[in-house]
Amino acid sequence: MKKDGVQYAVMYLDPARGREEGVEEDTKRVQILKSLVKSIRGVFLSPIKISVTLSTVSWVILDIFDVRYRYIYSFFVTTLTFIPIFSPSILGIPAALYLYFAQEADWRIAGLCFVSYYFITSKIFTDIYSNELSTVNPFLLFLSLVNGLYVFDITGFVYGPMLICLIHATIDLMKPPKKNKRNPDKNY
């Protein structure tokens, strides 16, 4: 088989290739696949997971305190997870102010609404970000969306983060391989 071109690259990255032909898994191929999967999860799947979780939690918290227009707050939480201008937990301030002034609730209820909203959403936000998005800075993701939109028009919402994935995977591949703890002679 000719060793250049797209077909060889796809065949080379195919994870089932080594098992089908009875060939040992190539460590570089495994490293490339792991790096690409890690960066794709960090850029595409984690913000979706964060936005769904935070919008659901904000809806439930604001429903408990009977804040009107809770769907608007949930929409803003979803937007702020993809475009991280500031933390979505800050949205507890206008919710508490609306509860106090417009719905004429007691100040303790409004304060409890803000405190519970702020601490619960910030705890979820930081936990998911520290576990899921440790690979990509959220501001870098925002810049990739904006620059992708500027350069590629509407398809830039996909192409911008894809370029970040490729850059992150390339940087990850430049790092020295990790040593296997069980077999120090074999690298991963």
- The answer to whether residue 4 sits within a structural domain is no
Would you say residue 141 lies in a domain? Answer: no
Average pLDDT estimate for 90-119 = 91
pLDDT at 170: 80
Domain assignment present for 111: yes
In a domain, 158, yes or no: no
Task: Write down the residue that tokens 């429903």 correspond to.
Answer: 63
CB atoms closer than 10 angstroms to residue 178: 9
Contact 95, 62 (CB under 8 A): yes
Q: In this structure, is residue 72 part of a structural domain?
A: yes
- pLDDT mean over 101-123: 90
Nearest in space to 40 (alpha carbons), one of 175, 188, 173, 168: 168
Instruction: Confirm whether 188 is domain-assigned.
Output: no
Give the total number of structural domains in the chain: 1
pLDDT at 6: 46
| 127: amino acid identity, one letter | D
What is the average per-residue pLDDT within 93-115? 91
In a domain, 100, yes or no: yes
Q: How confident is the model at residue 111 (pLDDT cuts 50, 70, 90)?
A: very high
Decide if 79 is inside a domain.
yes
Close Cβ partners of 74 (under 8 Å, ≥ 6 residues apart): 55, 56, 58, 59, 62
**The domain containing residue 32 runs over which residues?**
27-135+164-174
User: The tokens of 16 are what?
Assistant: 């089932």
Assigned token pair, 171: 């940087």
